[in-house]
Structure 1
């Protein structure tokens, strides 16, 4: 039946239901359709159903914003269908069983469609990056090499979560970066590095280092971290406590593009591994709801931040993925109230986004031309930093390398076994040491009271050395475990050597009696130049004047660069005061390390199966 109100023709809910049934092959003249049938017909009429790559069913409103609604959940298709049904049936509420039956049918329909992947907050579309503003009408911002623009509808399918809040529309209103600078108490280098990290946070297809705000109490770590995360991905809970288990962490990470863990002091091993996987891309398998044997996969790569006082408590592999920003102590006369800061941030948010998007557009234009000759662990992020430097003239890549090395050094300070290994290698000379795990455990200096992390046997020692190898390389100690000992045991050998730069900086400090000005490792001279040689040894060399107190000026001219009997054995000269070369292995004729000489050994550990004594 149709009615006419003020010249407008309206179709009754009964006629609408009849039409829906006819369109879906149901005879309306037979026994009245069930609620489940009506719900399924409504959904197929109004939503485009599909299954995501991870096995989750979604529906997109036909003719509406490009936002994927999950079939279940408070903000999902189930609740939307219940509302539509009530609106079209004079307020009649569908039963829970009817909704459940309808969902089962709709999941089957979604499984037959081509799979799609709904994105969260940011997505790549051709040569542009699409940022979802999180509004109900689906507005977004598209950033490309030629600039950015606001769009009324997204070309990419996005999904939403209850943890998300809308982003303000970017508006060019002065210098947004200068306004952001006024809200932070960090150094200029730290601020530039933070800006580069924020630019990279809007690029979805690369690993992002974990932004770490470090400082003592009263430096504003928590507020600064919440503000920075809010710039990228506003949330009702921008700061989170450490999750209690892997499942709770997976749920948090799946539903937020950017996450901040606040006041981190101790990171358990499982969470440290989970954070590392979230940086590079992770997938966690979980049992599907209402099933016994079906599973779903939570896939995510996230932008992470955390606040801490002591980053040295973190594991080495996690420390390599940090970008540390040191916060300065705020004097009492400069401290601002939080309400004032919140107002200033809210007023500046739109301008900050506009300035960041301007810089991101320039970075996207410069990136294809950027090539790195040396790539650190987070190589993709480092390339973005190089593009930022190319555009702005900053030196964020150098700052990042320095902060990464500092974080790893802090971690090694908290590893007693690593410190013992470092001391052993520093004393061993340019040839380093080659030992089995059991020999290494015997060779290092053991504390009277073993620390908690000290390996209890050779198996644990080898495993810990393997885990520490990337951190040791960062400070200039190379770890090679590819060699095997002689038969019949063929035990794994660990070859540990210090780089020439590390030997220059740690083993051979400049002589205070040197008549010539000190030459740094960056501009060191050649030892073959005699009296004019640098008090720091050249790469691969040791300074004869420092190594041997008995050396004469004529000796300096006789010793050639890289000679194993002179510069290569300078540690022996330093320890013994005797210019006699270090004894060589009777099997392979390579110089023996000092701790082997001290024990009376005549063969290299790679040639002899065991050590007879500790150094």
Structure 2
């Protein structure tokens, strides 16, 4: 005979639905707060997968189903569920906060990847290799945007199978593989993977595959969010996500992407409250596809890893169904090969020391470890990619280009100027572009913002000095590095060589000079004729490459050419000779340019005499 149910009140009624729901939840689940102040529950005898208390999904719906199963199909009311959640949230607030992970987590010296299966299976990767586990040693939370990962299976060379699905070059593929390895390491900033190429290069499909390897989702590609709240919701619920077909990046999104790379926290008002807030904390693995992202902010450009995709010829283009099947068949092998490489990287990583630490130094250290294991040069590719991105930024900044030209024209000591002096010294276009600073204050702000990009191309910006009292104005010291000065000098030398006179063209110079030498009967021509003669005295430009290799040494004919050219410049009325100064004729007292040493009389007066 079963015991009588415990009475809930003086009228002899049984326990309320809310009370039964609370008792059931306490029996089956542990309740706690996450580190960001959100209440969760985890099964006492199940996988380490947590359920959120807030919202209609999560523990609320699970508890309702469990109650219905235990009470012969009786359904709890919404008010009873709401009352039960309030009580359980109070219980969670008294427990010690716990850390929750999304898709990947660090556990001691190993990395744990949640396969997001209902059973809670995971993969544990360490310096000694990887292995599948039935239960994760850490707590994972999940979202509606996540899909399960296949269990990795060692089936041939998974990286080679991935290579067959992408149409980039070897350098780009190696950099992509290194980025994928880093994407499974949770506690470091990950640069934004950027697929760039013209239409028909398969950017969107490549991004879908790559994000699916790391964090499968029903929507691996997203459109650019409309505001910061929409962005925070997307980023909080996915470990890896991609912004597809980005044509321009507004300032607020550029800042949000930078913060998501290094770690971000966004405060929002809690649902159904006026003064309570929730904090969404995240550090994410991001990707985007673009033909040209437009003028990027310098800090965002330094956080990009760009993979160039090539145009796919029509004869080699594959149907999407075929690509989907090939990707699905290769996914498990690709994961296994990536985990093999990740294990090797974790093994050698303690011994990797960077002599130079670029921006995103933690990621660069992973690249160095990949290079050590594979014998690749992903570090060099990453540095080149960063320089190209910075160059693109500077190309879109007219003021930056003017500053670069100003510094390149200065000597080794550089320039030390106020922002107003810089504004006055740079070559400003006739019509000032929108981004051109309107005053010295804005010029200083732009210099500070552009300083990291300028340093990347070899121009140092130091604003630590002050001018003399009483104004004590901030001084900017702009100097070009030795490498940049050598590069600039080399470029100028090449340009000079292309425009230099060659002995192969000496006959042209000789004939032009002779043709322009004044004869006595031509000395009275008007200024127009003189200008035409002067134009013919210009040395001809080299016409062929072979001309530049004939008789480089100066011979008698070259000397004669120089003398004839000098005579042609001395014709009366030219007024542009750089070799002689004008004199007054001893006869007519008119100015003239002597073309023989000691000549004191105008040639016309001399002929008349």
Output the TM-score relative to the length of structure 2.
Answer: 0.80
Q: Alpha carbons of 1:29 and 1:117: their partners in 2 closer, same or farther (altered >3 Å)?
A: farther
- Per-residue CA distance 1:292-311 (angstroms, 9 max, x = gap): 11111100000000001114
Q: 1:404 aligns with which of 378, 386, 390?
A: 386
Conservation of the 8 A alpha-carbon contact between 1:311 and 1:411: no
Conservation of the 8 A alpha-carbon contact between 1:239 and 1:260: yes
SS for the counterpart of 1:313 is coil
* C-alpha separation in 2, matches of 1:165 and 1:28: 51
* C-alpha separation in 2, matches of 1:414 and 1:509: 22
SS for the counterpart of 2:491 is coil
* C-alpha separation in 1, matches of 2:417 and 2:202: 48
State the match for 1:430 in structure 2.
Answer: 412
* C-alpha separation in 2, matches of 1:376 and 1:466: 19
SS for the counterpart of 1:357 is helix
Residue segments in structure 1 that go unaligned for 5+ positions in a row:
3-13, 515-576, 578-615
State the match for 2:460 in structure 1.
Answer: 478
Q: 1:108 aligns with which of 74, 77, 90?
A: 90
State the match for 1:171 in structure 2.
Answer: 153
State the match for 2:271 in structure 1.
Answer: 289
- Within the alignment, does 1:391 sit opposite 2:368 as a pair? no
Conservation of the 8 A alpha-carbon contact between 1:312 and 1:413: no
* C-alpha separation in 2, matches of 1:501 and 1:27: 87
Conservation of the 8 A alpha-carbon contact between 1:185 and 1:327: yes
Conservation of the 8 A alpha-carbon contact between 2:47 and 2:119: yes
* C-alpha separation in 2, matches of 1:63 and 1:511: 76
State the match for 1:590 in structure 2.
Answer: none
Counterpart mapping for 1:350-361 below 5 A: 350-361=332-343
* C-alpha separation in 1, matches of 2:66 and 2:150: 30
State the match for 1:132 in structure 2.
Answer: 114
Conservation of the 8 A alpha-carbon contact between 1:68 and 1:160: yes
SS for the counterpart of 2:394 is helix
- Per-residue CA distance 1:551-576 (angstroms, 9 max, x = gap): xxxxxxxxxxxxxxxxxxxxxxxxxx
- Within the alignment, does 1:159 sit opposite 2:150 as a pair? no
- How far the C-alpha of 1:507 sits from its partner, in A, is 3.5
Conservation of the 8 A alpha-carbon contact between 2:202 and 2:309: yes
- Within the alignment, does 1:344 sit opposite 2:344 as a pair? no
State the match for 2:201 in structure 1.
Answer: 219
Conservation of the 8 A alpha-carbon contact between 1:426 and 1:507: no
- Per-residue CA distance 1:299-331 (angstroms, 9 max, x = gap): 000000000111452111100000000001111
SS for the counterpart of 1:159 is coil
SS for the counterpart of 2:245 is strand
Please, what is the CA RMSD of the aligned residues? Answer: 1.7
- Within the alignment, does 1:196 sit opposite 2:178 as a pair? yes
State the match for 1:314 in structure 2.
Answer: 296
- How far the C-alpha of 1:265 sits from its partner, in A, is 1.1
SS for the counterpart of 1:172 is coil
- How far the C-alpha of 1:29 sits from its partner, in A, is 9.7
State the match for 1:80 in structure 2.
Answer: 62
- Per-residue CA distance 1:506-544 (angstroms, 9 max, x = gap): 144374699xxxxxxxxxxxxxxxxxxxxxxxxxxxxxx
- Within the alignment, does 1:382 sit opposite 2:373 as a pair? no
* C-alpha separation in 2, matches of 1:143 and 1:389: 19
Q: Alpha carbons of 1:401 and 1:416: their partners in 2 closer, same or farther (altered >3 Å)?
A: same
- Once superposed, which parts of structure 1, at least 4 consecutive aligned residues long, lie more than 3 Å away? 26-31, 507-514
Counterpart mapping for 1:432-451 below 5 A: 432-451=414-433
Output the TM-score relative to the length of structure 1.
Answer: 0.79
* C-alpha separation in 1, matches of 2:98 and 2:10: 35
* C-alpha separation in 1, matches of 2:144 and 2:293: 31
Aligned length: 497
Conservation of the 8 A alpha-carbon contact between 2:248 and 2:293: no
State the match for 1:557 in structure 2.
Answer: none
- How far the C-alpha of 1:336 sits from its partner, in A, is 0.7
Q: Alpha carbons of 1:141 and 1:280: their partners in 2 closer, same or farther (altered >3 Å)?
A: same
Conservation of the 8 A alpha-carbon contact between 1:218 and 1:329: yes
* C-alpha separation in 1, matches of 2:74 and 2:132: 41
State the match for 1:186 in structure 2.
Answer: 168
Residue segments in structure 2 that go unaligned for 5+ positions in a row:
498-577, 579-609
- Per-residue CA distance 1:476-521 (angstroms, 9 max, x = gap): 010111111111111111111111111111144374699xxxxxxx
Q: 2:281 aligns with which of 299, 312, 331?
A: 299
Conservation of the 8 A alpha-carbon contact between 2:249 and 2:293: no
* C-alpha separation in 1, matches of 2:434 and 2:290: 22
- How far the C-alpha of 1:450 sits from its partner, in A, is 1.3
State the match for 1:367 in structure 2.
Answer: 349
Q: Alpha carbons of 1:31 and 1:318: their partners in 2 closer, same or farther (altered >3 Å)?
A: same
Conservation of the 8 A alpha-carbon contact between 1:73 and 1:79: no
* C-alpha separation in 2, matches of 1:236 and 1:124: 26
- How far the C-alpha of 1:28 sits from its partner, in A, is 11
Q: Alpha carbons of 1:201 and 1:28: their partners in 2 closer, same or farther (altered >3 Å)?
A: farther
